């Protein structure tokens, strides 16, 4: 039945995310995220069909909300996949202790530089408000 197909496709979304994550490599995760996204599209497609079938007019609002949820899931999966494609890390199984330390050091450096930048901006703002301008008396 259509209900069973929708349920199977919906469950497939989370199952494929879980399986891809457990595989341990970025490439495999990307593959399973793509499959999960396809399953979300499948659910959305069946919801569109459901909207057009007779006898479901009273559920139009609920169906529309579910389609929006599916679109949001697809966007999130796409964003996650894009961020994974732009990383140099191949996956947790590829990380050695040294590369883990390197990743942490890079993150810590970025955070330190950001804190330094904010501190510098704050200092400059404070300096501008406390330093008298030319031709001003204290």
pLDDT for the residue numbered 70: 95
| pLDDT per residue rounded down to tens, the chain (138 residues) | 888 999 999 999 999 999 998 887 888 999 999 999 999 999 999 999 998 887 888 888 999 999 999 999 999 999 999 988 887 666 655 666 777 788 788 888 999 899 988 888 888 777 776 666 666 655
Q: Which of 91, 70, 84 is nearest to 30 (CA)?
A: 84
Categorise residue 24: left if φ over 0, alpha if ψ from -120 to 50, beta otherwise: left
* pTM for this model (two decimals): 0.61
**Both tokens of residue 85?**
């494609």
Q: Which of 34, 46, 67 is nearest to 1 (CA)?
A: 46
For 13, counting Cβ atoms within 10 Å of its Cβ (0-12 exposed, 13-18 middle, 19+ buried), the class is buried
pLDDT for the residue numbered 32: 95
């Amino acid at each position: 039945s259509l209900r069973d197909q929708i349920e199977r496709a919906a469950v497939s979304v989370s199952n494929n995310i879980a399986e891809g994550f457990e595989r341990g490599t970025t490439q495999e995760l990307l593959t399973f995220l793509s499959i999960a996204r396809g399953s979300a599209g499948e659910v959305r497609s069946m919801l569109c069909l459901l909207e057009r079938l007779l006898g479901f007019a009273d559920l139009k609002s609920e169906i529309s909300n579910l389609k929006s949820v599916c679109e949001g899931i697809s966007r999130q999966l796409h964003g996650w996949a894009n961020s994974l494609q732009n990383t140099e890390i191949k996956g947790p199984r590829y990380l050695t202790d040294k590369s883990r330390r390197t990743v942490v050091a890079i993150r810590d450096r970025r955070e330190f530089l950001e804190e330094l930048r904010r501190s510098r901006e704050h200092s400059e703002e404070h300096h501008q408000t406390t330093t008298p301008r030319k031709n001003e008396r204290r």
